[in-house]
Amino acid sequence: MALSLIEKGDAYYCDCRREDVEERNKASQRTKQGYDGYCRERNLEKSPTTVLRYKVPAEGATTVHDLVRGEVVVANENIDDFVLLKANDAPLFVLANVVDDIDMKISHVLRAEEHLPNTPKAVLLFNSFGEVAPYFAHVPVLVNEKRQKLSKRRDRVAVEDFKDKGFLPEAMINYLALLGWSPKDNREFMTLDEMTREFAIEDVGHSPSFFDEKKMEHFNGVYIRALSDDDFVELLIPFLEKADWWQGSAENRAKLLDLASITKERVSLLGQAPDLLMPIFAPKVTVEEALFEKEVAPHAELLSQVATLCENLAEFDAASIEATLRDLSTTSEIPLRKLQSPIRIATTGAKAGLPLFELWQHAGRTVIIERLTSSAKNAEK
């Protein structure tokens, strides 16, 4: 197919090496750096050292009809005679692209903005082949915090990584769709169905967008909270299985279902949930030394007091636990918010986490009492 261009006078063979061209450009003080057209009229025959070049018209201009950018006009004098076929007859990207597109009767070419500078060449080729060029649409690229085009090498953008962190596909799609595009009413949360229905290529923006993982995480949190408890648990299991303390028993799954609603609203990534659940399912919790000394040790007496209270409870459920602790708060005149801190740290190892009463209920009375009393003992040392 490419050879037909020679007959039409749209292509010619060239044996210039890169260095030759550079030297000539230097010598002639040419401002342009590319190929200088040295072999255009030499009528070289094909040989193992010749490439086939496209003969770009000296005059005129080439127009790319771009659905997002409008008409992009480039003067032909600014387009170098580009290589079509390598010396070994292998076709180059533009050529391969164009014949492929013709072959497959492609109507629209959607690709990143970075390809725009080369598409006049493609348009030239379509014309030479007697074809009407397809519609092009060059969408803006995504950039990193330094405003550089996102690259696989430099930036961590593998979808697998996001999946491993606990991003939901739906949330990610929703967020990504909003980079460079927004629906007419400027709303943010939409289903794939709504997006495909309302999307129009003409509406996409012209400037690059920063890929803001923080905002995507917020989207993810909203999607997670919208999940049913069952679905949430289902999606959570693979993340729990990475923890050595997790036992996938039916009993534990039932607990998980109970805890789903209070867990959902505390995570924006599924990967954050195991840390929250750990004090319930792990046999032991560790309290950081400095934290223990500062926040727990001074309240050793309270710890054993609460342990005794727990022991005497008829039912060890959230409501009962709450009732006794509120009583204790009243009689001891320590606000509940103050009172819960040392016992939370002693039984979970963290200053913040799931609501304490539910957490205790699901961890179980013996476990909690054990953690309370051993902490009290440690504090006295």
Residues 199-218 that bind RNA (CB under 7 A): 203, 205-210, 212, 214-215, 218
Q: Is 152 an active-site residue?
A: yes
> How many residues bind to RNA according to rule CB under 7 A?
79
Q: Shortest distance, CB of residue 191 to RNA, whole angstroms?
A: 17
Pair of tokens at residue 231: 């679905």
Residues 68-97 that bind RNA (CB under 7 A): 69-70, 72-75, 78, 80, 83, 86-88, 90, 92-94
Pair of tokens at residue 116: 């725009």
Q: Shortest distance, CB of residue 250 to RNA, whole angstroms?
A: 26
Binding-site member from 24, 336, 365, 370 for RNA (CB under 7 A):
336
Catalytic residue among 32, 86, 105, 152: 152
Binding-site member from 1, 3, 4, 17 for RNA (CB under 7 A):
17
Binding-site member from 161, 230, 265, 327 for RNA (CB under 7 A):
265
Residues in a beta bridge with 369: none
H or E stretch covering 137: strand 135-139
Q: Shortest distance, CB of residue 27 to RNA, whole angstroms?
A: 15
Report the residue number, 131 or 322, with the smaller CB distance to RNA: 322
Residues in a beta bridge with 137: 110
Q: Which residues contact 130 (CB under 8 A, 6 or more apart)?
A: none
Residues 129-158 that bind RNA (CB under 7 A): 140-141, 143, 146-149
Return the range that interacts with RNA (CB under 7 A); candidates 245-253, 278-286, 355-363, 365-373: 355-363
Please report which residue ranges of the chain form alpha helices under DSSP H. 4-8, 18-28, 93-103, 119-128, 159-165, 169-177, 192-198, 213-226, 229-240, 250-264, 273-281, 289-291, 300-312, 318-332, 336-348, 356-363, 365-380
Specify the pairing of strand 142-143 against strand 209-210: parallel
Report the residue number, 84 or 233, with the smaller CB distance to RNA: 84
Report the residue number, 31 or 107, with the smaller CB distance to RNA: 31
Distance (Å, whole) CA 109 – CA 101: 9
- With contact defined as beta carbons under 8 Å apart, do 232 and 276 qualify? no
Binding-site member from 11, 133, 273, 354 for RNA (CB under 7 A):
354
Return the range that interacts with RNA (CB under 7 A); candidates 37-45, 100-108, 173-181, 248-256: 173-181
What letter would DSSP give residue 184?
T
> Judged by CB under 7 A, does residue 313 bind RNA?
no
Which value, in Å, is the radius of gyration of the alpha carbons in the chain? 34
> Judged by CB under 7 A, does residue 298 bind RNA?
no
15 by Cβ neighbours in 10 Å (0-12 / 13-18 / 19+) ranks as middle
Binding-site member from 123, 269, 356, 379 for RNA (CB under 7 A):
356
**Hey, which residues are catalytic here?**
152
